[in-house]
C-alpha cells in the first residue's frame, strides 16, 4: 500500500518508527526509535519526541505559541520516552520572554484527548492529564501529578508531585505535593493517601505527610 505522508528531508527519524497516512513532520524534528505516529498528526519544527511514544490522530506538536509576545524566535517542544499523546492534543513551543525557549513533557505520561499544554510549561514524568484539561503558559507539573478531566490551570501555577485534582476545576494557585484538591475555585481536601499507597509509600511516611498537612492547613497557621 502506498504511504501518503509528508516528512521533511531534514527531519531525523529513528529506527522502527511508524508514520501513518496524512501526517506531516516538519524541518528540525527528531523522532526517537520505536515511536508510533497515527494518521493526521502535525509535528512542526522544533519538536523532539522520545522513544516508544504513541501519538494519536489529530495531535499537533510544536505549533507556535498563542502568546502575543512571541516574535518568531527558534524554540522547542521536548517529549520524553514512552509517553502517550491521545487524539487532538496540542503542545505549543516555548518563548524567549520566559527565558526557557522550551515546553517540556516528561517520560511515561498520558495526555488524554483534547489536552492543551501551552508555551513554556514543564510537565514531569508519569503525569496523567485527563481529557479537555488545559495548562496555561509556564505552568509546572511535578512528577506523578494526576489531573482530572476539564481542569483549567492558570498561568505560572506550580502543581506538586503525587497530587490528585478533581475534574471540572479551575486552579489559580499553587497546589502542594501529596494533596487532594477539588471544587471551583479549587480548595485542598486532604492527602492523596490512595495514590501514595499505590506508589509504595510506607504507612509511616503517609502519616508524616498527613501530620504536616494538618499542621499547615488545619492548625490555624
CA separation for the pair 66, 22 (Å, rounded): 25
Active-site residue, 137 included = yes
Measured distance between the N- and C-terminal CA atoms of the chain, rounded to whole angstroms: 67
Q: Residue 168 and residue 74: Cα distance in Å, rounded? A: 35
CA distance linking residue 35 with residue 75, whole number of Å: 22
190 flagged as catalytic = no
Catalytic residue, from 80, 92, 120, 195: name it. 120
Catalytic site includes residue 120: yes
Question: Catalytic one among 26, 80, 94, 119?
Answer: 119
Q: Which of 46, 106, 124, 137 is catalytic?
A: 137
Size of the chain in residues: 221
Q: 149, 166 in Cβ contact below 8 A?
A: no
- Which residues form the catalytic set? 119-120, 137
Amino acid at each position: 500500500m502506498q504511504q501518503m505522508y509528508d516528512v521533511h528531508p531534514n527531519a531525523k527519524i529513528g529506527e522502527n518508527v511508524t508514520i501513518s497516512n496524512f501526517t506531516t513532520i516538519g524541518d528540525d524534528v527528531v523522532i526517537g526509535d520505536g515511536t508510533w505516529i497515527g494518521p493526521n498528526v502535525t509535528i512542526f519544527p522544533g519538536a523532539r519526541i522520545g522513544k516508544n511514544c504513541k501519538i494519536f490522530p489529530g495531535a499537533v506538536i510544536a505549533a507556535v505559541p498563542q502568546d502575543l509576545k512571541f516574535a518568531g524566535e527558534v524554540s522547542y517542544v521536548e517529549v520524553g520516552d514512552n509517553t502517550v499523546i491521545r487524539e487532538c492534543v496540542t503542545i505549543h513551543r516555548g518563548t524567549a520572554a520566559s527565558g526557557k525557549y522550551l515546553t517540556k513533557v516528561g517520560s511515561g505520561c498520558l495526555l488524554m484527548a483534547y489536552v492543551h499544554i501551552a508555551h513554556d510549561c514543564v510537565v514531569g514524568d508519569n503525569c496523567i492529564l485527563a481529557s479537555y484539561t488545559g495548562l496555561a503558559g509556564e505552568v509546572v507539573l511535578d512528577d506523578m501529578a494526576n489531573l482530572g478531566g476539564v481542569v483549567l490551570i492558570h498561568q505560572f501555577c506550580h502543581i506538586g508531585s503525587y497530587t490528585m485534582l478533581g475534574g471540572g476545576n479551575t486552579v489559580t494557585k499553587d497546589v502542594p505535593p501529596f494533596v487532594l484538591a477539588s471544587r471551583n475555585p479549587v480548595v485542598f481536601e486532604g492527602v492523596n493517601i490512595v495514590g501514595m499507597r499505590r506508589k509504595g509509600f510506607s504507612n509511616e511516611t503517609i502519616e508524616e505527610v498527613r501530620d504536616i498537612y494538618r499542621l499547615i492547613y488545619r492548625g490555624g497557621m
